[in-house]
């Protein structure tokens, strides 16, 4: 059985966020799918979950699926997995936001986060899109990485942060792991524990898939059979 990693990017990013991870997974014999979470201003979290469901449905029938969500996409992949619980063998959050039914970005984040995002949308995004923060907000400080990332970042629809997840509880039957980057920027370890996931620390910034792709890929490959191989 071949493992397919469905790699889902976070807010302001695109499928290119996984460009340094994908070759490493392929070299180990895995397949990958990198759905593009669309960014028109009317898109919301539920739309993004449907896009991930569509990617899950594209996987080959005999594949073992590992669903990976970075940051905001932690919420997205859990809603998508809830819709296809029999297709997903393991969920991996990478510095991922997560919660029970009804959780969303603004319910999980500090009030100051919501105030900052809404103000940015009102000032720069016509109230419906949040302009991308600078690469340093994702922990990217190397000049070459900054130059690579900055022009790729996209505005994020505000609705993706205001909508709350809709979960039936089926997702809770799927084992999961929350990889959190150290030092912590938000309590991603606590989010993982709150939904019943094992937690693993990984040294690196929030966009660890860009700065430290090899150690992240090694961790992901430990879940090839739906559970951690140690």
Rounded to 5 degrees, what angle do the CA atoms 213, 218, 222 make? 145
Cβ-in-10-Å burial (0-12, 13-18, 19+) of 204 comes to: buried
Domains of the chain: 3-110+156-221 (3.40.50.1820)
* pTM tops 0.75, yes or no: yes
How far, in Å, are 7, 32, 160, 187, 225 from residue 220 at the CA level?
10, 12, 26, 21, 11
Quote the CA–CA distance of 85 and 224 in Å, as a whole number. Answer: 17
Q: What is the DSSP letter of 161?
A: H
Report d(CA 86, CA 65) in Å as an integer. Answer: 10
pLDDT digits (tens, 9 = 90+) for 206-223: 999 999 999 999 999 999
Q: Is 156 helix (H, G, I), strand (E, B) or coil?
A: strand
Residue pLDDT, tens place only, 65-96: 999 999 999 999 999 999 999 999 999 999 99
């Amino acid at each position: 059985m071949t493992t397919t990693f469905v790699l889902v990017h976070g807010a302001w990013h695109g499928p290119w966020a996984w460009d340094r991870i994908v070759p490493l997974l392929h070299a180990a014999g895995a397949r990958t799918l990198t759905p593009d979470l669309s960014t028109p201003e009317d898109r919301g979290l539920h739309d993004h979950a449907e896009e991930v469901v569509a990617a899950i449905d594209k996987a080959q029938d005999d594949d073992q699926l590992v669903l990976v969500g970075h940051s905001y996409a932690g919420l997205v992949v859990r809603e998508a997995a809830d819709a296809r619980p029999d297709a997903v063998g393991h969920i991996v959050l990478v510095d991922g936001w997560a919660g029970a039914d009804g959780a969303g970005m603004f319910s999980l984040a500090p009030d100051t986060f919501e105030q900052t995002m809404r103000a940015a949308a009102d000032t720069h995004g016509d109230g419906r899109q949040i302009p991308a923060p600078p690469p340093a907000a994702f922990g990217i400080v190397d000049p070459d990485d900054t130059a690579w990332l900055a022009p790729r970042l996209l505005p994020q629809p505000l609705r993706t942060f205001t909508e709350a997840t809709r979960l039936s509880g089926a997702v809770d039957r799927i084992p999961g792991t929350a990889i959190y980057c150290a030092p912590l920027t938000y309590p991603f370890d606590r989010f993982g524990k709150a939904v019943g996931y094992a937690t693993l620390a990984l040294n690196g910034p929030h966009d660890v898939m860009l700065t430290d792709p090899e150690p992240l890929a090694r961790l992901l490959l430990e879940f090839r059979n739906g559970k951690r191989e140690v």
